[in-house]
């Protein structure tokens, strides 16, 4: 964020996603275009769709929604039949606690997503697309609606785009407050006008998705990376990041740092650098205690691991956690990990869609320990039970929410068992921080 920017032209040197962010008014189509926007869309219409897919595959871009599955490989599973009805669905649900990067990207620069989606639609041969955005992001949805209108007026969306005989309609669809709609099959149920309940995979949405038809679901950040990759090529993209974690990534950083916010850095940047250089160090000069490195589903790292980890998919995994959505929550020595776990478990219980018994009952039971604590009825042994319950929930359910609740619970117990045991047996009223 501190790096020097060229004025009014995109800074493609240091950034792939935020390259336009310094330009005033870049949410307007004309400003975006003057800075180089939509050039790649036009160039891509001259390219073979298969070549575009190949370039994205070679770039090593991995899905930025959390799972990190290679985008180009997923695109490879998608029907090549350009006459078949297929959908492109952008996941802008962004509800994983700690995550706010997609909001930051889209509210300043909606057109980079739209350009990325048009190129992707051309490559994939989809005629219709939706941007599923969480209901709370009303203003961001309006920014997107306005940008779409501009793109339609320019003939970049709609029928026979730029005279290429290619049709692509793109709409914003607002959710209504449910974390589970971020899970791709839950999102599809929700788009179909139903409860946002996930469906068993396979079949994967790429084969059988929205309305039973092939549907490509990609995160905002994944789709927005496409124009840069097409402009400079896979080889240039791979110069950012590590061998297996190519490119740059947006990180949302919150908690006990001086400057919380969104940054774009190459994958593999050390967490220490992110905290100390990009986020201005620890709040009040306090000591770091722990970091949640990839959203609330990611197991916590202790101080030692936090200071040695590099933020790429492999290195974070090697510490027993995951890069996830790139949501970093920094926790200092003044915090009680019992509080953090309690907030986390309340969240998962509230958001379980209730279809699977291990998830519905498991999240409820885990949360109940913290409820019992309030009446002085929780025991030290409850932490052991908590660990066992979490273990029993894993790999048993329709979607990954149950795992997402179990993993951070077990991670927390691994590093902070004595603190948690003390926490649940402490009289609530005497435990004001």
Partner 1 sequence: MSSNVSEKTHSLGTPFSFTSENLKTYEELLTRYDDVESALLPVLHLVQEQINWLPTEAIAYVSGLMNIPEIKIKEVISFYDMFYDVPVARNMVHVCTNITCSMFGGREIYQGLLKHFDTDYLTPTRDGRISLQKMECLGACEMAPCMRINNDYVGPVDLTAAIQKLEELP
Ligand X SMILES: Cc1cc2nc3c(=O)[nH]c(=O)nc-3n(C[C@H](O)[C@H](O)[C@H](O)COP(=O)(O)O)c2cc1C
* List of residues contacting ligand X (CB under 6 A): 63-67, 69, 71, 91, 93-96, 180, 182-184, 217-219, 222, 399-401, 404
Starting at the edge strand found earlier in the chain, the sheet holding 327-332 runs: 261-266, 248-255, 327-332, 288-292, 301-302
Per-residue binding string, partner 1, 75-104, x by CB under 8 A, is: ----------x--------xxxxxxx--x-
Of the candidates 176, 156, 179, the one whose C-alpha atom is nearest the C-alpha of residue 168 is: 156
Distance CA 233, CA 220 (A): 20
Distance CA 323, CA 64 (A): 9
CB-count burial class (<10 Å; 0-12, 13-18, 19+) for 411: buried
Phi, psi of 210 (to 5 degrees): -55, 125
Q: Does 345 contact ligand SF4 by CB under 6 A?
A: no
What residue 184 binds from partner 1, ligand SF4, ligand X, none (CB within 5 to 8 A, per partner kind)? ligand X
Q: Smaller CB distance to partner 1: residue 18 or 52?
A: 18
202: preceding bond cis by omega (within 30 degrees): yes
Distance CA 431, CA 167 (A): 61
Give the count of residues interacting with ligand SF4 (CB under 6 A): 14
The least CB distance from residue 399 to ligand X, in Å, is 5
The least CB distance from residue 195 to partner 1, in Å, is 4
Pair of tokens at residue 321? 């956690």
The least CB distance from residue 353 to ligand SF4, in Å, is 3
Of the candidates 320, 392, 322, the one whose C-alpha atom is nearest the C-alpha of residue 363 is: 392
Distance CA 82, CA 127 (A): 9
What residue 208 binds from ligand SF4, ligand X, partner 1, none (CB within 5 to 8 A, per partner kind)? none
**What residues have CB less than 8 Å from 384, skipping those under 6 apart?**
none
Q: Smaller CB distance to ligand SF4: residue 224 or 393?
A: 393
Distance CA 222, CA 235 (A): 17
Pair of tokens at residue 104? 């930051």
What residue 218 binds from ligand X, ligand SF4, partner 1, none (CB within 5 to 8 A, per partner kind)? ligand X
Per-residue binding string, partner 1, 336-355, x by CB under 8 A, is: ---xx--xx--x--xx-x--
Starting at the edge strand found earlier in the chain, the sheet holding 215-219 runs: 169-174, 128-133, 87-92, 215-219
Q: Does 356 contact ligand SF4 by CB under 6 A?
A: yes
Pair of tokens at residue 362? 């498991």
Pair of tokens at residue 137? 């992001």
Per-residue binding string, ligand SF4, 169-188, x by CB under 6 A, is: -----------x--------
Q: Smaller CB distance to ligand X: residue 393 or 404?
A: 404
Q: Does 323 contact ligand SF4 by CB under 6 A?
A: no
Of the candidates 278, 312, 315, 251, the one whose C-alpha atom is nearest the C-alpha of residue 98 is: 251
Count of all residues that appear for the chain in the document: 433
Q: Does 409 contact ligand SF4 by CB under 6 A?
A: no
The least CB distance from residue 361 to ligand SF4, in Å, is 10
Per-residue binding string, partner 1, 294-333, x by CB under 8 A, is: --x------------------------------x-x-x--
Distance CA 251, CA 376 (A): 39
Q: Which of residues 157-196 bind partner 1 (CB under 8 A)?
A: 169, 171, 173-179, 190-196
What residue 344 binds from ligand SF4, partner 1, ligand X, none (CB within 5 to 8 A, per partner kind)? partner 1
What residue 402 binds from partner 1, ligand SF4, ligand X, none (CB within 5 to 8 A, per partner kind)? ligand SF4
The DSSP H or E segment spanning 224 is: helix 220-224
Task: By CB under 6 A, name the binding residues for ligand SF4.
Answer: 180, 198, 352-356, 359-360, 397-399, 401-402
Task: By CB under 8 A, name the binding residues for partner 1.
Answer: 85, 94-100, 103, 128, 134-139, 169, 171, 173-179, 190-196, 211, 252-256, 260-262, 292, 296, 327, 329, 331, 335, 339-340, 343-344, 347, 350-351, 353
């Amino acid at each position: 964020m501190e790096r020097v920017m060229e004025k009014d032209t995109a800074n493609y040197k240091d950034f792939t996603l935020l390259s336009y962010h310094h330009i005033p008014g870049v949410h307007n189509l004309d400003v975006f275009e003057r800075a180089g926007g939509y050039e790649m869309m036009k160039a891509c219409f001259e390219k073979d769709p298969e070549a575009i897919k190949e370039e994205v595959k070679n770039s090593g871009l991995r899905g930025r929604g959390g799972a990190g599955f290679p985008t180009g490989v997923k695109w490879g599973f998608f029907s090549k039949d350009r006459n078949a009805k297929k959908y492109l669905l952008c996941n802008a649900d962004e509800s994983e606690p700690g995550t706010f990067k997609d909001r930051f990207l889209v509210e300043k620069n909606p057109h980079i997503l739209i350009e990325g989606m048009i190129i992707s639609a051309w490559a994939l041969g989809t005629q219709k697309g939706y941007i599923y955005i969480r209901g709370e992001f009303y203003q961001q949805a309006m920014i997107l609606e306005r940008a779409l209108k501009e793109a339609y007026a320019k003939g970049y969306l709609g029928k026979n785009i730029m005279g290429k005989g290619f049709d692509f309609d793109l709409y914003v669809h607002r959710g209504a407050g449910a974390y589970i709609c971020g899970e791709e099959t839950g999102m599809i149920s929700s788009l179909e006008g139903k409860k946002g309940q996930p469906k068993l995979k396979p079949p994967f949405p790429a084969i059988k998705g929205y309305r039973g038809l092939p549907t490509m679901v990609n995160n905002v950040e994944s789709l927005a990376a496409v124009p840069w990759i097409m402009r400079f090529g896979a080889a240039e993209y791979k110069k950012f990041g590590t061998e297996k974690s190519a490119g740059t990534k947006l990180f949302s950083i919150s908690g006990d740092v001086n400057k919380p916010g969104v940054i774009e850095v190459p994958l593999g940047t050390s967490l220490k650098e992110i905290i100390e250089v990009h986020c201005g160090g620890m709040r009040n000069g306090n000591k770091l205690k722990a970091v949640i490195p990839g959203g609330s589903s990611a197991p916590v790292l202790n101080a030692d691991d936090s200071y040695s980890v590099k933020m790429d998919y492999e290195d974070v995994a090697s510490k027993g956690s995951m890069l996830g959505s790139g949501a970093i929550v920094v926790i200092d020595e003044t915090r009680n990990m019992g509080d953090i776990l309690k907030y986390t478990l309340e969240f998962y219980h509230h958001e379980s869609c209730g279809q699977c018994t291990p998830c519905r009952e498991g999240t409820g039971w885990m949360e109940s320990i913290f409820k019992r604590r309030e009446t002085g009825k929780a025991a030290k042994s409850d932490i052991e039970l908590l660990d066992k319950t979490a273990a029993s929930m894993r790999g048993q359910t329709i979607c990954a929410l149950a795992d997402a609740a179990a993993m951070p619970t077990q991670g927390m117990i691994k590093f902070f068992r004595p603190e948690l045991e003390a926490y649940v047996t402490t009289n609530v009223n005497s435990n004001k921080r």
